[in-house]
Structure 1
Amino acid sequence: MSDFSAVTSAYKGAWARRRVFVPIYIAVRLLLVALVAPGVAITVNLAVSLSNQTALTDQAIAAFILSPVGFVAAIAVLSLFLLAEVFVFSVMAGSLRMGESDPWRAGSSAIGLILSRLPALFGFAVRFVLRVLVLILPFAAVSAVIAWWTLTEYDINYYLTFHPPSFWIAVVLIGAVILVMAWVLIRRLSAWALGLHLVLFEGVHPAHAFNISATRMEGKRGRLKIELAIWLILRVIIAGLIAWVAGLLFAIVPLQGASHLRLALVYSLLVAGVWSVAGLVLAATALGALAVLLDGFFEIRTEEPPHPEPGSLRIPLFAILGAAAVAVLVGLWFGQHLLERIQAPDRAEVIGHRGAAALRPENTMASVLKAIEDGADWVEIDVQESADGEVIVAHDSDFMKLAGVNLKVWDATMEDIAQIDIGSWFGPEYADERTPTLREVLEAAKGKSKVIIELKYYGHDVDLENRVAVIVEELQMQDDIATMSLKYPAVQKMKKLRPDWRAGVLAATAVGDLTGLEGDFIAVNAAMATPGLVRSVHDAGKDIYVWTVNDPLQMSAMASMGVDGLITDRPAMANEVLRLRAEMGPAERLLLWLATTFGMSVDTQAMRDESP
């Protein structure tokens, strides 16, 4: 049998057992939440307990992971997640080897076997993570050196925006390193392919499973590598076909411009639901096919340890009816709270991100004035110190992205800044735009819009907090500004300097209880926002802002959650979304919320405002 035939036969075999594999896949995935969540929670609590904070945000998380304790904790978490994957695959492999056709009997016996081997499986997962890390770390180090050599002369945003030659050099070199790493990993993984089977079906100690597997795979590794490559290619092709069909169905009734919004949304949600189910079935079938492939390489050479015999899990009718009744009650309770949230009046404020950055060059007076014109409640800007002590509005560490000028902000004088055109990259009509000062922005916004000042730190600040405070007080705008920063100690310092001013924590990632951090508000990446987080922040008496929200569906979803502020590059669009939501009934709002839950979005790249 050819390698391709072997793989297609494995997929056919998995599909033939879909009545077993799909229910098992779903059930075990749900079970894993209960297994993994406590371990992750313990690790998070450990990380937070070692600090003097209730939560860790971006920089603090990185510092923790790089510490000895953090590294061990990270290994433990990775092992838990790998154990989850091992658990799913083990149940598939166990049910396959036991030959049961009934999903309840196959699943129960396989899960019983896996639970009896759980300590050994966790030991296997830990060793597997460590072995893979040992293989990856040298390549990661080489990649880091390449990135440092090619991508550190200028601010990273310049490289990500314009892709200069050095960017492509880094891509090619790091890509070559990744290919070599992949080759090494495939060689080792093919040698370890039977390790899990040995632990599971022969009771081999995890410490010996890798070497025994390598011995048994001698002469077979080449065939396995080819079959694994074909297996992966087929999985990607099938997933691509499913996505292509779903895209065609979505395109029939596009959300944007549809004359009947409700009909368009219902149709789109049905398509999204079918797409999700198809993806779930594919994942279960592909994993089952992998189990079939590897099972073909495994022959038990010792007496198989006893394991639970397949048993009956026939559930009494009254238990099913009771579970259904509980589900209905929970659904009604959840639905009532959901409708209450959806019917609640929107109180989200519109915050112009770097002004109106989708419509005008970011952090310029043109962008600030456009945000004010478009009705932004707040204008958000970034500030740093120039070489001569002026507080200027700038996000990056240098002027490469905005002007192609190799000059660090902290080395630039106001005379230098006056010569740097930061608008032409966006459009020739903005050639006169120069980096504004904090004072100029505050004077323009006074009486028209409030201003959120993000304090930026690149390790060269001198007295940023005090200089900002002096300018704000000179203009008597204490009640019209707020400060925030990714650097939590800076938030604490600002609260200490001016306790009565609004100050907030900016977080792209976080672990722990954000609500326990000092500050009047939390500004989080929209991907972090959940109804539970919003509720806990409000219960703590704080506000929650989300960034950067430019899609109208996502804006609506965030408003449904009850966030207090939408940080957006398109303040006019945000205001329009909130206006339209005020005219909608709960059904339309619910559909909009569900649409975003299914990952739907509206392409806004071509929606640049053409007004002068």
Structure 2
Amino acid sequence: MSVLSTVLQAYGDSWRRNRVIVALYFVLRLVSLAVLAPLVGGLINGAVSLSSQSALTDQDIAGFVLTPVGFVAAVGILSLLLVVEVLGFAVMTAIWRAGGVGGVAAARAALWAVIRRWRPLLVFALLFVMRVLALALPFVLLGLLIAARFLTKYDINYYLAYRPPQAMIAGGIIAVLLAGLAVVLLMRLSGWALALHMVLFDGVGPHAAFARSAEFMVGRRLQLQRELVVWIVLRAALMGGVGLLAGVLLNLMPLQAESGMRLVLAITMAVVALWTLARTVVSALALGALARVVNGHFHGGVPLQPPAARPPGSVRGRLALGCAGIVGLVMFGFWSGGRLLDGISTQDDVTVIAHRGAAGSRPENTLASVQKAIEDGTDWVEIDVQETADGEVAVVHDSDFMKLSGADLKIWEATMDDLAEIDIGSWYDGIYADQRTPLLRDVLEMAKGRAKVLIELKYYGHDVELEPRVAAIVEELDMADQIATMSLKYPAVQKMLALRPDWRSGILAATAVGDLAGLDGDFIAVNMGQAGPRLAQRTAAAGKDLYVWTVNDPLEMSKMISMGVSGLITDEPALARQVLRIRAGLSTPERLLLWMSEELGVSLNTKRYRDDSP
């Protein structure tokens, strides 16, 4: 039988047992979530408790992970996830050892086999995780060294925007490393393929199982490796087909229709439900097929038998208890879902914040961009500031000018004379060749009385007196009530609050663990991936605002507003104003429809942006 035929037959066998496989998969996911959630939460809370803050933001997390305790915590979380996957695979494997037993009896036999051997299985899972991590560690370290060698001379945004030869070389080497890691894992995993079977069905000790499996698979690895590659391709194709079908169905709907919105909403919800169900079924069947493929190489053990039948009364009692548990879970789902929906705002009281000015229609952080944002009706203009070599506060995001002009000059080494020679507008369009790096003073003077200014304090380890200098300029122009400050560095936020406690200030976070709402400041600015109704509720309960960046698609804007965020940080302030006007005439179901459409990947803005970082 060919490799393709073997894998297709495994998928077919998995489909023929779809009821028990999908049901077990769903139950296992629920149980793993119930077990993992408190464990991962405990690790995160432990990490936060080691600091003096209620949450850890980007730079705090990076610093913590690089500490011995942080590294152990990160490895611990990854290990928990892998252990759960191994145990889930063990249950699926046991399904195929149940012989001719089918349905509920097969599920009982599989679960009983795993429960009966839970201790050696747990030890095996931990040993497996340690071996995988040991294999991956050299490749990860080499990748970090390559990145440090090729991608640290200039600001990272230059490499992301232009992809110069250094970035391509680094990317190529890292891709080779990843391919090498994949090959090594495939070779090793194919050798260890039957270790789980030996522990579960032959009673072999966890430590000895790896060596015995590798010995048994000599001469058989290549066949299994081919089967695994085909299995991966088929799984990816099935998942892609499910996503494509959902997208086609959604795009066939009349999103612009002026009538029949209830029907459109119902169709959208049906598509979402079917898409979620289909993904779950495909994942379950693919895992079952994988277990079937591997099981085809194992010829030891004996067929499993379900545990002895219990008295009818005992069965009825357990069934009643199980039903009660399911009912309780459903009720909890409705309650928690209701709590989330209660936090979805239907009244749009949202601030528009122009990201580096109107960066979608003018070169970023220029006076042209600031002027355009004001003309577009923005509430705030967001800019980045750093110090120059001669002590001026300049408006610039990156640590150098490579991305904007190709000039290899760090901002802290540049003087005002240098800045006067650097064209930062031509990269966008030749008509902006006259644009030069403005000073904070220039932006404030342009915005005074027309829009407020959100000043992000940028730090690359070369600041001298950035906070006092910003404060002096703002006070000189009498604009303390027209500005706010924020930073990725929480100590800098605290320093600014101590320096000017009456000024509006907030924390910027691309990633975070813990309670962001508990940090000092008047607002929190997060990326879209972190935003949600629950975070909006917590920040509102703490009396703070929640800003989200960088939101440039109309559907994304509508979704964020529906979640209850306080402000949109966007490159397209005029578009944000248009979305707010349109939403004012929409009903709640219509707004929910827009949200559902965005969740399914529909996008109404096809413009490409060079940089969506804060």
Write the mapping of 1:570-581 to structure 2, written as runs, cut at 5 A.
Answer: 570-581=572-583
Counterpart in the other structure of 1:62: 62
Counterpart in the other structure of 1:9: 9
CA distance in 2, matches of 1:317, 1:36: 26
TM-score, structure 1 length as denominator? 0.92
Write the mapping of 1:436-455 to structure 2, written as runs, cut at 5 A.
Answer: 436-455=438-457
- Gaps spanning 5+ residues in structure 2: where? none
CA distance in 2, matches of 1:83, 1:310: 30
Q: Deviations over 1:122-143 (max 9, x none)?
A: 3333322222222222222222
CA distance in 1, matches of 2:300, 2:609: 63
Moved more, 25-34 or 307-316: 307-316
1:45 maps to 2:52? no
Counterpart in the other structure of 1:505: 507
Give SS of 1:544's match. Answer: strand
Counterpart in the other structure of 1:393: 395
Give SS of 2:357's match. Answer: coil
Against the structure 1 CA distance between its residues 53 and 216, is the aligned structure 2 distance closer, same or farther, given a 3 Å change threshold? same
Counterpart in the other structure of 1:368: 370
CA distance in 2, matches of 1:536, 1:341: 10
Against the structure 1 CA distance between its residues 34 and 109, is the aligned structure 2 distance closer, same or farther, given a 3 Å change threshold? farther
Q: Deviations over 1:468-501 (max 9, x none)?
A: 1111111111111111111111111111111111
TM-score, structure 2 length as denominator? 0.92
CA distance in 2, matches of 1:43, 1:98: 38
Against the structure 1 CA distance between its residues 328 and 489, is the aligned structure 2 distance closer, same or farther, given a 3 Å change threshold? closer
Counterpart in the other structure of 2:543: 541
Q: Is the 8 A contact 1:352 1:378 kept in 2?
A: yes
Shift of 1:307: 7.9
1:472 maps to 2:474? yes
Letter aligned with residue 240 of structure 1: G
Shift of 1:150: 2.3
Letter aligned with residue 287 of structure 1: L
Moved more, 259-268 or 468-477: 259-268
Shift of 1:108: 4.1
Moved more, 372-381 or 130-139: 130-139
CA distance in 2, matches of 1:40, 1:334: 20
Against the structure 1 CA distance between its residues 473 and 99, is the aligned structure 2 distance closer, same or farther, given a 3 Å change threshold? farther
Q: Deviations over 1:317-369 (max 9, x none)?
A: 98798778768866776676666555642222111111111111111111111
Write the mapping of 1:548-559 to structure 2, written as runs, cut at 5 A.
Answer: 548-559=550-561
Counterpart in the other structure of 1:139: 139
Give SS of 2:86's match. Answer: helix
Against the structure 1 CA distance between its residues 44 and 321, is the aligned structure 2 distance closer, same or farther, given a 3 Å change threshold? closer
Against the structure 1 CA distance between its residues 397 and 192, is the aligned structure 2 distance closer, same or farther, given a 3 Å change threshold? same
Q: Is the 8 A contact 1:383 1:438 kept in 2?
A: yes
Counterpart in the other structure of 1:212: 212
CA distance in 2, matches of 1:545, 1:131: 43
Counterpart in the other structure of 1:521: 523
Give SS of 2:384's match. Answer: strand
CA distance in 2, matches of 1:210, 1:305: 22
Against the structure 1 CA distance between its residues 424 and 457, is the aligned structure 2 distance closer, same or farther, given a 3 Å change threshold? same
Counterpart in the other structure of 1:349: 351
Against the structure 1 CA distance between its residues 18 and 151, is the aligned structure 2 distance closer, same or farther, given a 3 Å change threshold? same
Shift of 1:594: 3.0
CA distance in 1, matches of 2:551, 2:260: 21
Letter aligned with residue 106 of structure 1: A
Give SS of 1:37's match. Answer: helix
Q: Is the 8 A contact 1:203 1:305 kept in 2?
A: no
Aligned length in residues = 606
Letter aligned with residue 536 of structure 1: R
CA distance in 1, matches of 2:434, 2:500: 36
Counterpart in the other structure of 1:383: 385
CA distance in 2, matches of 1:289, 1:325: 31
CA distance in 1, matches of 2:429, 2:264: 36
Against the structure 1 CA distance between its residues 454 and 120, is the aligned structure 2 distance closer, same or farther, given a 3 Å change threshold? farther
Q: Deviations over 1:234-270 (max 9, x none)?
A: 2222333333334433443464x55558355554443
Shift of 1:20: 1.4
Counterpart in the other structure of 2:534: 532
Letter aligned with residue 525 of structure 2: A
CA distance in 2, matches of 1:553, 1:244: 19
Shift of 1:119: 4.0
Letter aligned with residue 21 of structure 2: F
Q: Deviations over 1:205-239 (max 9, x none)?
A: 33332222212212211111111111111222233
Seq. identity, %: 54
Moved more, 133-142 or 60-69: 133-142
Against the structure 1 CA distance between its residues 348 and 405, is the aligned structure 2 distance closer, same or farther, given a 3 Å change threshold? same
Shift of 1:106: 3.3
Write the mapping of 1:165-244 to structure 2, written as runs, cut at 5 A.
Answer: 165-244=165-244
Against the structure 1 CA distance between its residues 66 and 261, is the aligned structure 2 distance closer, same or farther, given a 3 Å change threshold? farther
Q: Is the 8 A contact 1:547 1:566 kept in 2?
A: yes
